[in-house]
């Protein structure tokens, strides 16, 4: 539920940092067991923050003051909290100041921590982005101690239109309180608004009786459990407790807001669409020979992906110098980089390449329309959350299969996606159609499992002592291939090969990997392919006259995915996929297949299919294994927590089948 923050403005003065420490009751000092979770290593007794946007010298400023107190119960807590790291974005002018900290021993004695002893390090630096961190060490900690600390984060010269307020920690919290004072300025008409995510929100109340804190409103949560990550859970923003505060102008009703936004975004996006004679020529050359609208759209998308260099990726050897040249000489701050510019220079950002695709599709008579999509990489779409914060950058182009018919969505701004597929995180998500005539909300399709496949094959020979050697080939298509290309495109061939070899050697301990070859790692066209030769001792286990073989080579050493008996969060998959394995084993002389039982078929209730079979050619002395898995059929990619037992049972059965062993027995050689 959205709530406005009504603040009583008195003066544009900066509030002073709280200098006094709060008293600690003796019973908390002496306590030895957690209050909220008996298994917790530590608990936050409170986390208070005072968040303020204000003006100083005519400029907007942003400031957050924090005060945190934590009780440590065991050695693991000491290891975790002995050094506190506070990250801040220095690239936007943020600073951390006024740090104060102390340790309160169980006997009430106090050890002060001086802020000038802090270490300041770089956490992440990429282009203009620079994330730094200040680290503060708490000395001589013992179980039962309490640590508490305060610090202020300042951002000078601007306010944040959007601010995230965490309401849940990695440890249980007795109370988390957020105090907020919005920006007031005579000419500033926007109002600060809030939207809570995944908490029992009790609304805002005015802060009274606190000296120097006029104009603040407050909200809090009590007895908040720790945030604990679970396998295959949704994005943290969809399950962790937090509040977004942001500024808007006027009231927004969903039924009016979304169509209005669709029209506005269409007008904004179309500023960069320019259909000139060269675009018409290319559209005719590329799409003209193709009959169907789908075929034309895919051909145009493939052209944009392969013929226009994308500065956001390392595809086809894109270098830093190329990017610098683009931003310095091609992209002007006061000009719109149009679709015609992208075609002329054969280079652009993802959004520029989408504009070119749109212009080409329009020139080809395909009636394209812009759209923005929700994403599984952030909070899922809430129609009641009337703001473009989570969707505006997720731009797609829709093209009808027939005039007025079903829309298919395209994103040629991502060079590694097969033409006609959209980013995996956009699949099956709500989409705002930015149609100037009929803007509306709809739901996009999810691509079928067959379009994202791992096609793997291997030919092995086994020795009498269980050693395995042979050649392996793995081909990844669709989302599986695009994901791997995105991971490895920025690495040199040597770095990529080294990393892959390390992965294989970890999966197959003691194995020797050679003849490693990677194909299509950084090119838009072609499937991501890896091949290698492997030699591994004791792959099959020899016991007397018997040998035990796991035929599921690609699942070797896999662990069960879900181990917990209970589940708190839903289960989410970004995309459907399939796996198709074929393995040929030349058996050692003197050994024959003894127990030939195969897992066979496992029913997955319409979510997918699984088959594991084999054929034994006694004359050729060869065993052939085939395995296939499909998951996410029909767009079934989300399972509520109450369905966890069924999902866990399905994957437990798949794991048992994948790690199934066959028995070979030694027979006298005739």
Q: Which pLDDT does position 439 carry in this prediction?
A: 95
- Distance from first CA to last CA of the chain, Å, rounded? 80
Contact, 18 vs 46, CB < 8 A?
Answer: no
HSE of 268, CA atoms in CB hemisphere, 13 A = 13
Which pLDDT score, from 0 to 100, does residue 15 have? 41
- Percentages helix, strand, coil for the chain (3-state, rounded to 5) are 25, 35, 40
Please tell me the distance from the alpha carbon of residue 390 to that of residue 382, in angstroms, as a whole number.
10
DSSP state of 574: S
Do residues 219 and 178 lie in contact, with contact meaning Cβ atoms separated by under 8 Å? Answer: yes
Q: Residue 330 carries which DSSP code?
A: I
Looking up tokens 């838009």, which residue turns up? 524
Length, in residues, of the chain: 670
Q: Is 64 helix (H, G, I), strand (E, B) or coil?
A: strand
Sign of CA dihedral 554, 542, 468, 621: negative
Global pTM reads 0.88
- Three-state DSSP class for 524? coil
In angstroms, the CA 42 to CA 40 distance is 5
- One DSSP character per residue, 410-450 reads E-TTSTTSPTT---GGGTT-EEEE--SSS-EEEEPPPPPGG
SS3 216: coil
Amino acid 186: pLDDT: 67
DSSP state of 491: S
The pair of structure tokens assigned to 392 is 């505006």
Sketch out the chain's domains with CATH numbers: 3-248 (2.60.40.3140), 256-445 (3.10.620.30), 457-467+537-670 (2.60.120.1130), 471-534 (no CATH)
Gap between the Cα atoms of 154 and 60, Å rounded: 11
* Residue 591 near residue 572 (C-beta atoms within 8 A): no
Residue ranges in 291-388 assigned as alpha helix (H): 293-307, 320-325, 339-345, 350-363
Q: What is the DSSP string of 171-232?
A: S-EEEEEEEEE----TT---EEEEEEESS-----EE--S-TT-TT-EEEEEEEEPPP---TT
Could you give phi then psi for residue 598, rounded to 5 degrees? -120, 150
Distance CA 43, CA 66 (A): 17
Neighbours of 537 (CB within 10 A): 14
Read off the DSSP letter of residue 117. Answer: G
- The two tokens of residue 408 are 């298919």
* CA distances to 539, 541, 554, 559 from 512, in Å: 12, 18, 16, 22
Report pLDDT for 48: 97
Q: Determine the pLDDT at residue 127.
A: 63
Consecutive sets of 10 residues in the chain, 670 residues long: mean pLDDT of each? Answer: 42 46 92 94 97 79 93 95 88 85 93 79 75 88 95 78 92 97 76 91 91 89 96 94 88 91 95 96 96 96 95 83 84 79 94 96 97 90 88 91 92 91 92 94 93 98 96 97 91 92 94 95 92 96 92 95 95 96 95 86 94 92 96 93 96 96 82
- Helix segments in 170-292, DSSP class H: 254-270, 277-287
Contact present, 528 and 520 (Cβ < 8 Å): yes
In 10 A of CB 295, how many CB atoms? 14
According to DSSP, the β-strands at 622-631 and 546-549 are unpaired
* Beta carbons within 10 angstroms of residue 587's beta carbon: 24
Cβ atoms 392, 372 nearer than 8 A: yes
- 187 contacts: CB under 8 Å, gap ≥ 6: none
Helix (H, G, I), strand (E, B) or coil at 152: strand
The burial class, CB within 10 Å (0-12 / 13-18 / 19+), for 357 is: buried
């Amino acid at each position: 539920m959205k709530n406005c923050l009504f603040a009583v403005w008195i003066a544009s003065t900066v509030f002073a940092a709280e200098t006094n420490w709060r008293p600690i009751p003796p019973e908390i000092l002496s306590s030895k067991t957690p209050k909220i979770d008996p298994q917790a290593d530590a608990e936050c007794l409170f986390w208070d923050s005072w968040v303020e946007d204000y003006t100083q010298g005519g400029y907007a400023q942003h400031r957050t003051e924090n005060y945190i107190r934590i009780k440590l119960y065991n050695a693991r807590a000491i290891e975790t909290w002995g050094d506190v790291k506070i990250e801040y974005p220095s690239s936007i002018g943020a600073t951390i100041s006024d740090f104060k900290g102390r340790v309160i021993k169980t006997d009430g004695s106090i050890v002060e921590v001086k802020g000038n002893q802090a270490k300041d390090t770089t956490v992440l630096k990429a282009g203009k982005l620079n994330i730094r961190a200040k680290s503060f060490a708490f000395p001589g900690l013992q179980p039962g101690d309490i640590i508490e600390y305060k610090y202020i984060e300042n951002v000078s010269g601007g306010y944040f239109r959007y601010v995230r307020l965490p309401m849940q920690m990695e440890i249980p919290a007795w109370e988390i309180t957020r105090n907020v004072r919005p920006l007031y300025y005579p000419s500033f008409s926007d109002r600060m608004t809030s939207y809570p995510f995944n908490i029992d929100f009790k609304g805002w109340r005015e802060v009274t009786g606190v000296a120097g804190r006029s104009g603040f409103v407050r909200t809090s949560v009590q007895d908040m459990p720790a945030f604990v990550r679970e396998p295959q859970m949704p994005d943290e923003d969809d399950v962790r407790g937090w509040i977004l505060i942001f500024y808007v102008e006027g009231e927004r009703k969903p039924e009016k807001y979304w169509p209005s936004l669709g029209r506005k975004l269409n007008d904004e996006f179309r500023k960069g669409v320019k259909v000139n004679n060269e675009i018409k020529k290319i559209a005719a050359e590329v799409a003209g020979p193709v009959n169907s609208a789908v075929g034309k759209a895919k051909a145009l998308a493939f052209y944009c992906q392969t013929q226009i260099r994308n500065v956001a990726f390392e595809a086809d050897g894109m270098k830093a110098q190329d990017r610098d040249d683009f931003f310095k000489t091609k992209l002007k701050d006061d000009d719109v980089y149009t679709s015609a510019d992208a075609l002329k220079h054969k280079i652009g950002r993802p959004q520029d390449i989408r504009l070119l695709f749109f212009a080409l599709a329009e020139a080809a008579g395909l009636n394209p329309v812009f759209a923005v999509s929700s994403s599984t990489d952030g909070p899922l779409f809430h129609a009641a959350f009337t703001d473009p914060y989570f969707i505006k950058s997720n731009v797609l182009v829709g093209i009808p299969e027939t005039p007025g018919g079903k829309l298919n969505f395209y994103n040629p701004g991502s060079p590694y996606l097969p033409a006609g597929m959209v980013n995996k995180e956009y699949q099956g998500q709500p989409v705002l159609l930015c149609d100037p005539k009929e803007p509306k909300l709809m739901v996009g399709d999810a691509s079928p499992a067959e379009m994202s496949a791992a096609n793997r094959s291997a030919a092995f020979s086994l020795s009498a002592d269980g050693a395995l050697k042979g050649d392996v080939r793995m081909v990844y298509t669709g989302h599986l291939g695009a994901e791997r290309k995105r991971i490895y495109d920025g690495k040199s061939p040597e770095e990529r090969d080294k990393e892959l070899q390390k992965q294989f050697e970890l999966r197959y301990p003691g194995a020797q990997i050679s003849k490693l070859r990677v194909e299509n790692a950084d090119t838009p066209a072609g499937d991501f392919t890896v091949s290698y030769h492997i030699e591994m001792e004791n792959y099959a286990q020899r016991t007397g006259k018997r040998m035990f073989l796991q035929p599921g080579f690609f699942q070797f050493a896999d662990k069960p995915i879900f181990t917990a008996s209970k589940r708190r969060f839903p289960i989410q998959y970004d995309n459907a996929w399939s796996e198709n394995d074929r393995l040929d084993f030349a058996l050692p002389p003197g050994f024959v297949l003894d127990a030939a039982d195969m897992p066979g078929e496992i029913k997955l209730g319409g979510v997918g299919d699984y088959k594991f079979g084999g054929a034994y050619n006694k004359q050729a002395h060869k065993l052939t294994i085939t395995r296939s898995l499909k998951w996410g059929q029909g767009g079934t990619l989300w399972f509520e927590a109450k369905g966890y037992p069924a999902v866990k049972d399905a994957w437990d059965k798949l794991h048992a089948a994948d790690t199934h062993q066959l028995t070979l027995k030694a027979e006298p050689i005739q």
